Structure 1
Amino acid sequence: MRYHLILFFVFQLLVQASSAFGQSYTTRTTLSPKLQKQFEKVRAQVDAKAFTEAKTGLNKILQEDPNFIDGIIWLANIHYDEQDYPQAIKSYQAALQLGPDYQPRLYYQLALAQMRADDFAGSIPTWNQFLQREKKNPELIQRAQRNRADAVFAAEAIKNPLPFQPEKLPPSINSPEHAEFLPSLSADGQTMVFSRLVQGQEDFFVSKKKEGIWQTAEPLVELNTPFNEAGHCLSPDGKTLYYTGCNQAKSLGGCDIYVSYYRDSSWTAPANLGAPINSGAWESLPSISAAGRAMIFASDRAGGVGGRDLWLSRQLPDGKWSAPRNLGAKVNTKGDEQAPFLHPDGATLYFMSNGHPGMGGFDLYLTRLDSAGNWSVPQNLGYPINTRANEGALAVSLDGSRAWFSTDMEDTRNAEGIKLGRSDIYSFILPEINRPKMVTFARGKVFDLQTQTPLAAEVEVLELASRKVFYKAKVAEDGTFLVCLPLGQNYALNASFPGYTFYSANFALAEVRSADQAYELSAGLQALPQTSDLVANKDQAPVVLRNVFFETASAALRQESGPELDHLADLLNQNPNLRIQINGHTDNVGTDADNLRLSEQRAKAVYTYLVGKGIAAERLAYKGFGETQPIADNNTEEGRKVNRRTEFVVL
């Protein structure tokens, strides 16, 4: 039985002496001796959690004395704790009708019951009644004010419901006997890691999607321990797992953040991230940015706004993490904020909170990062996504159309009829108003073009307009990589490895409005020749410079070409014996002579740029081929775009 039954009983003893005279109700002290004896038996039944017998006993007493206000209150409390809110409301109202000022805190309990019964509008005047009467307990007043704000929000929200059709994930993920929660997915949506509560212990489970069907989840045996593992975040490529480990050996606090990597078909031994991310306090529920260089997590460390706050740490050039910074009072409240999910767009943060106005309990919110680096006022995701149940741990697909979350919305009860509150994982179509910017991804493999051996190359992605580094990392030992690319920008990708030519790709996403296309890249690198022969190597295939751009029908280089040509200059500086020829090509639009002239002028423009960067002219040659060497169909615009290219070959 919850504590408020005992608290109500104690409080009644204090007020009964002053309210025993001039009243229209009976209290425990004015009850007949016979009924007092029966009431003591009821009290013992409540202590023994024999609620059915206690209700029967109270109803017998109230049949003999309908004005026994303490009995009505006790009956209301039992109904409330059994989550029979309509009956609880009826009993609380009956008690208040008998004695409006007998126990002012009954208004608080009645308002809670009304909210639990989804009568948010009806609870608002009840909260007002309580706040008019309660003057001594500032903590209780603050809770009532917050609950009233929730009621005001919820009353309006249910008038304007959002489209919401949650679909419970299949039994391969949701088990009938356990709670599942905290879903985290790879960028391609084919891998899900979640937590399952088994015999009071939180463990990791993973499910793979095959032909559109989630397979039976298996435990992550490499990471599960006799302690709790949960609060996790899977990197976009599915190969790094940041998670919360509690009561682990050599931990800094009760719960710390750890990291593990998927290598050679298994997960590595977890490593504690250490200070400054972890401290002597509670750290949990990390969310890593798509580029892996920022982490938002929950902590109750000193210096926060409320209980559990959201904090941000950035990865420094040396691989260490910066001192965490609180997200501030606009996002964090006096309550608890946790379970952050930073969408791969890098600007939309979803989280759960019980401190912002909502439907009650933990609701889901989003806040957006503006161009000045400030977070917006959090936006409740709305009803019926949020309900009076606890919603939490949202994950959102790259294109923003679908979300996954855990909730205890299902009315699962035990043999005694008590709601179990066991959560399951659901997915749903995210309403437009709650969607992030759309994101696609590029996935590829870097390898030796001749031997097909994987290369653990460095992959760098630039935002072409600003030349800002968007992503930079060394790829996995198997040469694979995955980069998330928010729409609305043009990007240049470069993959390089010492002793090899580089690979470049261009993603023109500034005007794209759909993220239904992912990019699959085969990044073959050519080993550089070990001699300085002046004879062209016939085995060397041309390296296309996909991020070299010219003005239309002109040999004038556009400024976005700078980063790609600087990479080429760096390659030449790092390999002083290397000689190259720059080749220019056009499509078939125009005359042969004009195209030949334009292609040579464009090749010469690249030659001139490199000479300007200090590359000796004798190491360079250039040649135009016009439209004579197409590599795609000139009958389509896409094909003609591919044929208009600049490339180099090793001499």
Structure 2
Amino acid sequence: MIRNLLFILAALAILAPSAEAQSWRKLKKEAEAAYERGEWLTAAQTYDEAFRKKRKKEDLTFQAGEIYFTLRDYRNAAEAYRPIKDKNDEFPLVGLKYARCLKQDGQYDRAIQEFETFMQGYTGDTREILEEIIRVEIAGCRLGMEAPARANRDLEVLLPGEGINSDKQEFAPFPITDDELYFSSTVNGSAKILVSKRDGNQWGKGETPRNFPLIQNGHFCNAAMAPDGNRIYFTVCNDEEPVWNDVKTRCEIFVTKRVGAQWSQPERLPDYINTAGVVATHPFVVHQRGQEMLYFSSNREGGRGGMDIWFASRDLGLDDNDFSFPINLGPVVNTLGDEITPFYNREDQVLYFSSNGHVSIGGFDVFKANGDEVSWSQPENMGMPVNSSADDYFFALNPSRKGGFLTSNRVFAGNKIVTTNEDIFEFAKGGRRMIVKGNVYDRGSGNPIGAITVRLYEVMNDGREAELRSERFSDGRYSFDILPNRQFRVEVEAYGYQTEGYAFSSDNPEVFAYGQPTFLQQEGAPATVPDPPAEPEVPGRNLPTAPAEPAEPTAPVISQPTVPANPPAPNTPYVTTSRDPNDNNEYQTSATRHSGTYYKVQLAAVGAFSPERFSNVADLGEVQTELILARSLNRVMLADFFTLEDARRVLATVKSRGYEGAYLIEYIDGDRYGRVR
């Protein structure tokens, strides 16, 4: 009996690897089948699951990353690329793709590091070209880090309701009037041209334009009406690919002409515009000097890079389609990358277009250039709020020129939480100028505190934070300009005090000023709150109440971190610099540098460090210090936690023990990367 049992156990041990191998192979086949059916998200997730079962098969995570990247799921793409980001010989340019995903996810500081790392390790024949691409990408990251402080406060961006947008793709807005909008949507499967009318503040449900010709096959989209209203140019595009793509889906330009109250059967523009095998798309027309000028995007031969912007013209006195041969707008506008979605404002002689080849804060950004035909000024990035870390294009002014529309796959203030679909956004000039402001007081005495440092963060829908501003104020009062329809957190520091802060959302259309008084507690002082001094009323704010004295909690249960079998010995003091671009101070520490990602809790920043002051949290981790050399200030850290879940659990306990201003810091391979929510 025992012999039989041992035989069965041995057989199971032999078969176990085979069963495991079969499992990942089955998942791989399921992923391939899902991809062929056009179920790309399912395919990516299944490749991801297969890789977790068989991590030696790195092509599985590469396939997952490629699909996520195509779907513009930047975060999941970055996570899929991350294990192989340094293996560019096996997976060409994967390090570059990884860095671009970080950039378009708004992680500019990490993206800069990864762009630099990729370039340092690249030895291919195209190094000279890639060096220029990397230079532009890094400049875009730096521009993105500065963009919130430079945002155009005269523009307000809004997300129209369900009459226009859905969970599919909405794009190519073309306003006929300020209250009538042509646009394209894949809501019913294939892309189609729809029209919506505004009633008050509400946009009606999109419908097929009245008497528009019936098109049986393919996507038909990207409509642009001629200024006299007698022609509509649009594209008919290949519908063989399962996923619509504004740039890569092959399209040709057609025109339909007004005949009384009807529209004629579509006519394909000549072969020298619709060149065989290439993309011709994004038409836009203006009338000037007796000519109808057709601007469009194409990857036709003779261009600068991928997609370029071209123009052709025809005589307005004739009703034919006899356009001139297309002319490239030239190297000032067009780059080695892609330039798409032209919109030309004839009155101001300004061309608006989108590009991923000029310095952008995301992928495609909107730019403007003054000029005409082939003579253009240097393009200017439109900045925030027109642009974002995602893709932004199809910028179009409405006829009154008081506002307009654009297309973006950005996330938006809780109303849009993913980047995998693009929506139409409306913008209005003369937007609300909004501020956050407040005064800072000593919690014990109620007296104003003089010198303070205030940081403003934007809080993303997934909890990540991006530092927007960090400024010192000498009189205990602060004020920042902010944008509407966003979530923020304010953090206040002063020498000798614990850090405090509060969060708020700028989503009340009746409120233009946000903020609240902030009370800082001296290090080691009891937690009491005085009666607040008289302060001018600020609409829309919630005044703080005195925090209840918490009961002393028990220590949380922390899972043991996975560390090397032979962890490194404690270091002697060394000097290093944070990777956080908003905190580039040199600091001295003796903390152990671990491999991979881990976390520490920052308890306080003090002049003279005394271990006894922090003994009530010493049971939760190791108390460490980071001496900021330029300021003679010690950051007091509680370390180390190797999962975010553990770190957050400890942070909650730390706050309950009196460290209300504590927060988490992320470290990667021993380098300090900055704060996490």
| Higher gyration radius (CA) | 1
**Structure with a larger share of its residues in strand:** 2
Q: TM-score, normalised by structure 2?
A: 0.48
